[in-house]
Amino acid sequence: MDNNPGCELDLGWLNNVQINLSAINRRAANLQSSRPLKSEYQAAWLLKALTCIDLTTLGGDDTNSNVSRLCFKAFRPLPEDLLQSLGFQYGPNCPIHTAAICVYPSKVQSAVDALKKLGMYDKIKVASVATGFPSGQMPLQSRLMEIQYAVEMGAKEIDIVIDRSLVLTGQWETLYKELQQMKQACGSSVHMKAILATGELGNLRNVYKASLVAMMAGSDFIKTSTGKEALNATIPFGIVMCLAINDYYKRHGFKVGLKPAGGIRTSKDALSWLVMVKELLGDEWLTPKLFRIGASGLLTDIEHNLYQYVTGCINATYEFSMG
């Protein structure tokens, strides 16, 4: 994916934003109740979801060894026999692996080392959260230094968090300038994903505006949540962000990616997001270049569902390895 060059802050565009809450909620309800995926294609859709996962560990008890194990899980996400039953084989060009590993800055080095050992550093991206994750309430200089540190350690993607207080008090210009500096700290070969923490932005109008400002400042992806807010990734937030991505693309010709994250634990949740992106942004967005799911627990449920699809048997989740 190319880097989003961004554009000048367009306050006129922001000030004219209108969001029809009942239309968004109706659309969300329709998307969640419709069944557009035929059951014979479910396995293919679940594999697609798997390849879009940013496999995440963001715990206070993370260790270098559990990060290394997670990297192995990203590289070999399914048991070999299950994968073969689905028509794939592990090997140098096997496409079935997660898109990225997402960790704290202090664990980037472990993830880089583990993926290099597996020969996957170029294929599975190392993403690091940064900028005072999850609150974003640190002095700007220290937030920028965190980005520089993670990049120096070898991160290829930086998931920054925005300072929500700037949205809640309408300081769009400050938000834009901070994000521009963060993008600059990422450098030209690292992608920036902007976590909006949508559950803390007050209303959907602010979600749309924050999405626009993040894209104008050069974010390559916009991401719903940190996973630590009381309200995380929801379909109405996703719809508003897709509308903003579409509008930005129409005006500036650049495709920004979407990353829902936080509380996405089941295959059904993942499929709802895939359907939403397919319907609102189109098939072109359904690749890891433009769509990611940030999740710590989803992979286990996908594995469970694929096992059931292949064998017709329901198996206990505890029989599957860490995801």
Ligand X SMILES: O=C[C@H](O)COP(=O)(O)O
- The residue ranges that bind ligand X (CB under 6 A) are 56, 58, 102, 226-227, 261-264, 294-297
Strand duo 221-223 + 125-130: pairing: unpaired
Select 176 or 262, whichever has its Cβ closest to ligand X: 262
Select 163 or 301, whichever has its Cβ closest to ligand X: 301
Select 54 or 178, whichever has its Cβ closest to ligand X: 54
Residue nearest to ligand X (CB): 227
- Our answer to whether residue 123 is catalytic in this structure is no
Select 186 or 264, whichever has its Cβ closest to ligand X: 264
CB of 266 closer than 8 Å to CB of 232: no
Closest approach, Cβ 259 to ligand X, in A, equals: 8
DSSP character string of 29-93: HHHHH---S-GGGHHHHHHHHHHTEEEE---TT--HHHHHHHHHHHHS-S-HHHHHHTT---STT
DSSP letter (8 states) at residue 283: G
The catalytic residue among 73, 125, 255, 259 is 259
The catalytic residue among 156, 183, 209, 223 is 223
Select 101 or 212, whichever has its Cβ closest to ligand X: 101
CB of 97 closer than 8 Å to CB of 89: no
Select 296 or 300, whichever has its Cβ closest to ligand X: 296
Closest approach, Cβ 90 to ligand X, in A, equals: 25
- Our answer to whether residue 223 is catalytic in this structure is yes
Strand partners, 56: 102
Backbone angles phi, psi at 163, to 5 degrees: -85, 105
Closest approach, Cβ 298 to ligand X, in A, equals: 7
Which residue stretches of the chain are H helix? 11-15, 21-33, 42-51, 64-75, 80-85, 108-117, 140-153, 164-168, 172-186, 204-216, 235-252, 267-280, 298-311
Q: Of 2, 7, 1, give the one whose Cα is nearest residue 250.
A: 7
CA atoms of 241 and 223, how far apart (whole Å): 9
Q: Dihedral sign, CA of 128, 132, 133, 136? A: negative
CA atoms of 136 and 164, how far apart (whole Å): 8
Under DSSP, is residue 126 helix (H, G, I), strand (E, B) or coil? strand
Closest approach, Cβ 273 to ligand X, in A, equals: 13
Closest approach, Cβ 167 to ligand X, in A, equals: 19
Q: Residues with catalytic annotation?
A: 223, 259
